[in-house]
Structure 1
Amino acid sequence: MAAATTQPRVMVLPFPAQGHVIPLMKLSQKLVEHGLEVDFVNTEFNHGRVLEALAEEEGAEAIPRGIHMLSVPDGLGPADDRADIGKFVKDLPAAMSAPLQELIRSRETKWVIADVSMSWALELASAAGACVASFSTYSAAVFALRLSVPKLIADGVIDGSGIVKRHRIQQVPPLDAAEIPWVSLGSTPERRRINVQNVLRTNQWIPLAETVICNTSMEMEPDALSLLPNTLPLGPLVARKSRLAGSFLPEDETCLAWLDAQAPGSVVYVAFGSTGVLGAAQLQELADGLAIAGRPFLWVVRRPAGAGEEDEEWLDAFRRRADGALGMVVGWAPQQRVLAHPAVACFVSHCGWNSTVEGVLHGVPLLCWPYFADQFCNQSYVCNVWGTGVKLCRDEGRGVVAKEEIRHKVARLLGDGVVKARAAMWKKAASDSIREGGSSHGNLLKLVELLREQ
């Protein structure tokens, strides 16, 4: 009979969205590599999606030994709209609190690492007898901006409903007040008000955390981190396994063989994250832009919102035409391995923080196409601070990024030796930080020591 484990048990609690689950799974892998036991808690809905994706890839072995996949309800039914972030955030605590408390007690959890977007769980976990830490799934700059929302309101930059009163914000990276994540995330005035009020309410629990873990490095964000004394920057987080047990969608690995057949530094990689679904008009414009750019491309395409039969037929026809002749179209890609491939020349990205730091880590210049939340701040880092990419601009009349803009910016980026050199410089800085002796590696060891102490 096997002896019971004596390893410290840590609960990891992500906000139930793909861009939050992935970095916390990467962190969990790091913790089990150092001998800790991790209970990774998804919602029941997302738990099912993760297991389904693994089964479709025949990749159950992607769950590392030491990580235990658990689930709790999110309070919604199978047909409910989980894209309504305001309602989702409002209802989560009531649905999850009792099951989480029971898990913490029954599994004798010593530590809970909660996504900063789940800050309400810090109070709950403390009451259940666990020590608590917070994890920022966005940049240190955005975390600092979150904590400064009360001051932004007091200074008259925005009001309590998220209405912009003064556009200029003094910070690094430069940002317009309309691009504050909780302002840009609000598709209606009421949702914007709910977002800002939720930040004000949940900020009160963040001081409960003994430390804030950040998926960044001291080299990448020195100014922002100087404002956050209680942080452990230990990124960029990278998965060691080829498959990551956190993806909601099965990864199409046939694209890797296709990349092997392309010339070094020739491929335009296009991906907009798990929530980035383009409308039909923009989809067509992007397809035409990639075609006239004259370079091979790998494009992760998800079905457009409200796609009808005609749109579905067009997308299928484009995929058939693109495959082999122009490029390759897939439903989901193993992004970390794609960005590490020598054939990839640039990355057309929505600038989610995960994608941004992965681009930095692999030295891939970015064409920036943000659409909400923290993505504008990340674009500002890329274009205004690190100098590793350029911005794609919308046609004001039509509200889309035009095909000629795409063609022009691809050519400009790939012909810019300065951007390439800066991307290579930041790749080295990011890689050095996570190697033994690097700043982020040292902070990872500090975190492991902290988790073992109590």
Structure 2
Amino acid sequence: MSTAAQPRVMVLPFPAQGHVIPLMELSRKLVEHGFEIDFINTEFNHGRLLEALAEKGAIPGGIHMLSIPDGLGPAEDHTDIGAFVKGLPAAMSGRLEEMITSRKIKWMIADVSMSWALQLATTAGVRVALFSTYSAAVFGLRMNLPKLIEDGVLDESGNVMRHERVQVMPPVDAAEIPWVSLGSTPERRKTNVQNVLRTNRLIPLAEMIICNTFMEMEPDALALVPNALPLGPLVAPTSKPAGHFLPEDLTCLTWLDTQAPGSVIYVAFGSSGVLDATQFQELADGLALSGRPFMWVVRPKFTTGVGQDWLDAFKHRVDGKGLVVGWAPQQRVLSHPSVACFVSHCGWNSTMEGMLHGVPFVCWPYFADQFCNQSYICNVWGTGVKLCRDKQGVVTKEEIESKVARLLRDEEIKGRAAKWKHKACASIIEGGSSHQNLLELVNLVREQSYPSG
């Protein structure tokens, strides 16, 4: 088949690493089925991605990496999500429209956090599938936000008016609703909530909602999502990372090879969580106190107020027992037989990866949908334990040591994690529910790219 005859799909992720990774994996799957993908990043992320993927063959042929400005100046912080959410539509729309026309795009897969693009695309005659980078439960909660405001749980600025458990699946506290907890200031909270209310009205323009989950994992929540198509877990083959903005330290795999099976505590907080100096040091001391081997990902700018000297001294103190790395090949770490548990911020990608590899969780959510994911892990699936803060809001070293020890003694949690691993793996192999849904998507896009007659 010539390139010209292959269906072309534009993929539009929200410009944050946790959004780029699953959409890159979906793109890879579509390329395997003969599609050409135009993958759109902001100019800033485009540069970071190409630098991190400098190794040959990390981006498969068939995926064309394109870039658009994000509207921020060179001196502004392009990693501050709150800063550019407001300006993205204005900064990107004109260039996006030109690309749709010049590249003859008929289909777009747009991140749900880029729902503003629905109007632009459908006006241009493009069919759109929305992609949910969070759970089906959180998508259902998003659609339910107007009702929560109507019921007086929140106001239209995202302020919590009634502190209560919101009975969604799974239940969460009102203050833990993603768009509330994501707002670091009242102004940002208002921007988030208003943005959801505005873009919710556009969601009926989408042909379907692609979800990075699987039917057996969220049957109740998926029933609440209009035209849901669960394709997850969308995770890259362990040999080929995609969508990461930081180079991975592969030496950690050699270190894992030297550890006993089921012995290592793996600690990673994703790409955007930040700990202050007190909390960072308490976590370090908790890991040392556990007396177990551990591997801790401390990416650049993960903490404020802790210098390299302190970190070097800590590395020296735990030498032989603990390993600190800048960024890890998470898939390969979680699938390694020496890993015993995952101390995680409970981002949705990490949650899906942990479930796929059957690793139990020690949950430490930071913001956004992570509290909902913790509720799933601890209250619904029963594959982890929750860390609690003291009166000063700190997770103490004693709490870390105690919860890790408790988790690693709990054979029931380990057994449930193993069962979920089996279900997750079964969903993505030939004949599995997510695999069947992927074929449905492929056939739909192919047919509608080349209407008969």
TM-score range, shorter chain: over 0.9
Q: Using the TM superposition, name which of 233-242 and 89-98 deviates more.
A: 233-242
Q: Secondary structure at the match of 1:62?
A: coil
| Ranges in structure 1 where 5+ consecutive residues have no aligned partner | none
Contact kept in structure 1, 2:238 and 2:332, CA below 8 Å: no
Structure 2 residue aligned with 1:249:
246
SS in 2 for 1:159: coil
- The residue number in structure 2 matching 1:230 is 227
Tell whether 2:330 aligns with 1:331: no
8 Å contact 2:384–2:407 — kept in the other structure? yes
Residue of structure 2 in register with 1:413 after alignment: 407
When residues 4 and 342 of structure 1 are mapped into structure 2, their CA distance, relative to the original with a 3 A threshold, is closer
Query: What residue in structure 1 maps to residue 336 of structure 2?
Result: 341
In the other structure, the counterpart of 1:384 is 379
User: Are residues 1:135 and 2:134 paired?
Assistant: no
Distance verdict in 2 for CA 1:292–1:97, change over 3 Å:
same
The 1:4/1:25 distance shift into structure 2, 3 A limit, reads closer
Question: Sequence identity of aligned pairs in percent?
Answer: 74
Cα 1:62–1:305 shift into 2, 3 Å: closer
Instruction: Provide the C-alpha distance between the structure 2 equivalents of 1:67 and 1:304, rounded to a whole number of angstroms.
Output: 30
**Matched-pair contact (CA < 8 Å) for 2:107–2:127:** yes
Letter in 1 for 2:279: Q
SS at the partner of 1:114? Answer: strand
Distance in 1, Cα, partners of 2:328 & 2:357 = 16
Separation in 2, partners of 1:296, 1:119? 44
Aligned length, in residue pairs: 447
Q: Report what 1:436 is aligned to.
A: 430
Contact 1:140–1:216 (CA under 8 A) maintained in structure 2: yes
Tell me the distance in 2 between the aligned counterparts of 1:304 and 1:409. Answer: 27
Aligned residue number for residue 184 of structure 2: 187
- Aligned-partner Cα distance in 2 for 1:274–1:304: 10
Output the TM-score relative to the length of structure 1.
0.96
Q: Is the contact made by 2:132 and 2:210 (CA closer than 8 Å) also made in structure 1?
A: yes
Distance of 2:174 and 2:271 partners within structure 1:
26
Residue 270 (str. 1) matches residue 239 (str. 2): no
CA 1:315 to 1:451, structure 2 compared with 1: closer, same or farther past 3 Å? same
Return the alpha-carbon distance in structure 2 between the equivalents of residues 191 and 96 of structure 1. Answer: 20
The question of whether the paired residues in 1 share the 8 Å contact of 2:177 and 2:369 is answered with yes
User: In structure 2, what is the Cα distance between the partners aligned to 1:170 and 1:52?
Assistant: 44
Question: Which residue is equivalent to 2:29?
Answer: 30
| Paired amino acid for 1:317 | A
Q: Does 1:214 align with 2:211?
A: yes
Q: Which residue of 2 aligns with 1:116?
A: 112
Report whether the alignment pairs 1:63 with 2:71: no
> What is aligned with 2:311?
315
Name whichever of 189-198 and 77-86 sits farther off: 77-86
- Distance in 1, Cα, partners of 2:134 & 2:281: 31
Task: Summarize deviations over 1:409-431 as a string: whole Å, max 9, x none.
Answer: 01000000110000001111111
Point out where structure 2 has 5 or more consecutive residues left out of the alignment: 449-453
CA deviation after TM superposition for structure 1 residue 4, in Å: 4.3
CA distance in 1, matches of 2:3, 2:184: 51
Change (3 A) 1:78 1:240: same
In the alignment, which residue of structure 2 is the partner of 1:53?
A: 52
**Matched residue type, 2:399:** E
- Contact persistence 2:238–2:331 (CA under 8 A): no
Question: What is the deviation of 1:158?
Answer: 1.0
CA distance in 1, matches of 2:304, 2:226: 47
- Is the counterpart of residue 424 in structure 1 residue 423 in structure 2? no
Q: In the alignment, which of 348, 357, 365 is matched to residue 353 of structure 1?
A: 348
For residues 8-35 of structure 1, what are the alpha-carbon distances to aligned partners after superposition, in whole Å with 9 as ceiling and x for unaligned?
A: 0001000000000001001111111111
For the residues of structure 2 that align with 1:4 and 1:32, how far apart are their CA atoms? 12
Amino acid at match of 2:255: W
Give the TM-score normalised by the residue count of structure 2.
Answer: 0.96
**Deviates further, 78-87 or 20-29:** 78-87
Check the 8 A contact 1:277/1:302 in 2, yes or no. Answer: no
Mapping of residues 32-181 of structure 1, within 5 Å: 32-55=31-54, 59-166=55-162, 167-181=164-178
